[in-house]
Chain A
Amino acid sequence: MSSNAISMEPASFNHRKGLPIAAVLAILSAGFFVVIALATGESAQLSLQGIVGLLQRMVALGLVAIGQTFVILVGSIDLSVAALISAVAVLASLLMQGDPAMILPAIIACLGLCLAVGLVNGALVAYGGINPLIATLGTGLIIQGVLAASFADLQGAVARQFQVLAYGGMLGIPYSVLLLALLALAAAFILNKTLFGARIYAVGGNPDGARLAGIHTERLVLAAHVIASLFAGAAGLYLAARLQSGTPWIGRDGIYDLESIAVTVIGGTILAGGKGGVAGTLAGVLLFASLDASFNMLGIDAFLKQVLRGGIVIAAVAIHAVRYKGHVA
């Protein structure tokens, strides 16, 4: 047998040298904000204060969306986050009743609730085999129903000291923005640098392949749901601090469930799972925040704002679809 020396062509990778999606999106969003600020003469928006204000708009949605990114990466989805945010905000103000001594117990209780909801969601999806849309819609409805039945009005208020989370800061940067930055970095670190992160991508990218590679896929789906719930809890606590007391409708009115999914997908995380990351999600949140701020500067009314946002979501996802196709072909 003559195996002649084979001159293999080097496998050609078309590493796209362009900027990553997250950077492109962030630059576009920031650019849009700057242009509108200049065009409307609201140059105060471009001061440090204005920019901090823009970043602060990102906090609540940003926290939820980071959690949502984990579940979407494993190929699941979480529609219960909006209701959970409301529940946490209500629970926090109910337990604190303005008493600073109750801050820590209230936070622990809230995160405990989130842990429980996350475990239920994860168990239903991973072990019960229930479609995540239905499972989390169901838990969300249950939470919302219990809230609506039990708490008609505002119940109590969070402690003054707790509101520092929303209104305090250091070096001119609000604690809330620092919290978002810290948690985002932690999430990105987990996804990119750790064993756990690698397996999250494996489970979402090819569930059967991951199973055959010996990964306990159910555990990872469960863990992702717990993470999403805990991040929703953080958002709920932040909102309670900002509004002083939680109402049963905070989460629903903010449309945090659907918007967190929207920004995650805009950021390049694919709904099927296995591709994407936190940086893209945050860029998506920045896009929404700068759109909101810009629409305010332009004095566009609330309904038209929704229409424009909807159009932008569709356009962003369509651009991904085109890019993806071009990439594969």
Chain B
Amino acid sequence: MTIIPALHMAGISKTFPGVRALDCVDFDCRTGEVHAICGENGAGKSTLMKILGGSYRPDAGEIRLNGRLVHLTHPRQAADAGISIIHQELSLLPYRTVAENIFMGRELARFGLLDRRQMNKRAAELLRRVGADIDPEGQVSTLSIAMQQLVEIAKALLLDAGILVMDEPTAALDERDAQNLLSLIRGLREEGVAIVYISHRMPEVMAVADRVTVLKDGQKIWTRARHAAPVPEIIRAMVGRDLKDFYPKRPSSGPGKVLLSVEGGANAALRDISFDVRAGEIVGVAGLEDSGKAHLAQALVGDEPLSAGVMRVNGKPVSIRSPRQATAAGIGYLPGDRKRDALALRQSVRDNALLTLRSMAGFFARPQRAALSPAAIDSELRDMDVRAADFGQEIGTLSGGNQQKAIIVRWLAQASDVLVFVEPTRGIDIAAKAAIYQTMRAFADAGRGIVVVSSDMPELIGIADRILVMHQGRIAGELPRGASEEEVMRLSLGIAQQEPREAFA
């Protein structure tokens, strides 16, 4: 190969505590090329781009720009080297004008004095270029999220960068704005910009990419020219992995009566949510990060209550406006971010296991008696095989698996009918995972129900009796037991929805 690529990253590795985020990844992008990166959540796409942007330093590997070795230690250096990044999270100043945002950090000034007229003029030009009719002097907080996204894109174009990275640039855009953006990308490619395009949306990748690289679990699976990478191949590479057979056997008997049902549920993040959970059943919820699956869990437990629709528990309509009401109705919650949402890290294992019982107990309940006594909760903790030297030790010192088991004990003690698990085994090692799956199955077999929201697809397929797949705040489809990862991924990407041959826009 004689061509020197505009961007060449070689052997990039990055480890965070407990996670190998990137493992010796090679990546390059030529001038006048759109190179798409695909991968599941947590595959390492964003980490790779944060390294390129100078936010993270790699543990190993090197970055070359037009063949020249560079060390990027601050976002400023990356920008000066001609790398412009449109970040996934909005990084705007809500109370400043659009023009001030576009020029943030690169303000036009003479002798330190701002040249607002010039900035407004240039900003208007950039906004026209991204096809956004936005007043550069307006305040950002008055704009819709989609408009703000377009401001972010205009901001990235300001740099006139040789390398442009777009991390899910269309996440908040509707079809029309997304189409505008794609034609803008084609224009930039003509101008010789090297574009790295990260997206979950397969149709966009197909429409715009010249080459496709698939990352998975921090490793590069392959890089291929677009014509050599049909969508099913990409999806298979994104999800393909060894399935270990550690999921518990499902009972042969069918599910029992309906424990929990939702009809027409909706709130700011959800629409048309209808499903039910039967006794003995584990219902999985799949979807991409922005699909609304986490919001569904929060709605069920009253953290982000439904504003419309009917929820029934054991056939009785219930109004759940707060987690306390959910707990009283028999719904328990095991959040995805255990450290932040589930644990009092500096309190004992026992205190953490007793948390719900204590909070639901009457004001005059005697703290050391009956179910609230240390002896009662200790025996439950032992039954769950929570391994701690002493249940009086701080729960923060336990492994993730044991912490999760202690939280399960918390809800068993409360005798909840339905448990809502989010990412039940995130950050938990294989052996403890199996134990948690066993516990979940045993809970369901005892005539109760589970809703499990997870980004880990083999886990969902292995543990759930059926899977609801969410896309853009709706349930895009339901898959029975034994669904393949490809089927789940297709629904998550919103591809299956397009199958009814509707006229294109």
In the complex the two chains form, is B95's CB within 8 Å of A214's CB?
Answer: no
On chain A, the residues within 8 Å of B109 by CB distance are 194-195
12 A-B residue pairs with CB within 8 Å? A8-B133, A9-B133, A11-B134, A14-B142, A193-B114, A199-B105, A205-B94, A209-B104, A212-B85, A214-B105, A274-B93, A274-B95
Q: Within the assembled complex, what's the spacing in Å between the Cα atoms of A11 and B135?
A: 7
> Residues 1-33 of chain A: 1 if any B CB is under 8 Å from the residue's CB, otherwise 0?
101001011111111000000000000000000
> Residues 85-96 of chain B: 1 if any A CB is under 8 Å from the residue's CB, otherwise 0?
101011111111
A275 adjacent to chain B (CB < 8 Å): yes
On chain B, the residues within 8 Å of A10 by CB distance are 133
Closest to B105 in A: A213
Interface size class of A (residues with CB under 8 A): 35 or more
Are A194 and B106 CB-contacts (below 8 A) given A13-B138, A201-B96, A212-B85? no
Q: Within the assembled complex, what's the spacing in Å between the Cα atoms of A205 and B140?
A: 12
Residues of B within 8 A of A (CB): 53, 55, 74-76, 79-80, 85, 87, 89-96, 100, 103-107, 109, 112-114, 132-135, 138-139, 141-143, 147, 155, 176, 179, 183
A202 adjacent to chain B (CB < 8 Å): yes
In the complex the two chains form, is A275's CB within 8 Å of B95's CB?
Answer: yes
Nearest CB in chain B: distance from A142 CB, A: 29
Closest to B94 in A: A205
Q: Within the assembled complex, what's the spacing in Å between the Cα atoms of A12 and B179?
A: 22
Are A201 and B93 CB-contacts (below 8 A) given A13-B138, A214-B76? yes
Which A residues, 257 to 296, have Cβ-Cβ distances below 8 Å to chain B?
274-275
In the complex the two chains form, is B75's CB within 8 Å of A212's CB?
Answer: yes
Closest to B144 in A: A11
A160 adjacent to chain B (CB < 8 Å): no
Which A residues, 185 to 202, have Cβ-Cβ distances below 8 Å to chain B?
193-199, 201-202
In the complex the two chains form, is B76's CB within 8 Å of A205's CB?
Answer: no
Residues of A within 8 A of B (CB): 1, 3, 6, 8-15, 193-199, 201-202, 205-206, 208-216, 274-275, 327-328
Are A6 and B96 CB-contacts (below 8 A) given A212-B55, A213-B75, A214-B75? no
In the complex the two chains form, is B106's CB within 8 Å of A212's CB?
Answer: no
On chain B, the residues within 8 Å of A206 by CB distance are 91-94
Q: Within the assembled complex, what's the spacing in Å between the Cα atoms of A152 and B417?
A: 70
Nearest CB in chain B: distance from A7 CB, A: 10
Nearest CB in chain A: distance from B186 CB, A: 11
In the complex the two chains form, is B176's CB within 8 Å of A214's CB?
Answer: no
On chain B, the residues within 8 Å of A210 by CB distance are 91, 104-105
Other A-B contacts than A213-B75, A274-B96, 10 sampled, CB-CB below 8 A, are A8-B133, A9-B133, A194-B109, A197-B114, A198-B104, A205-B94, A206-B94, A209-B91, A214-B75, A214-B80
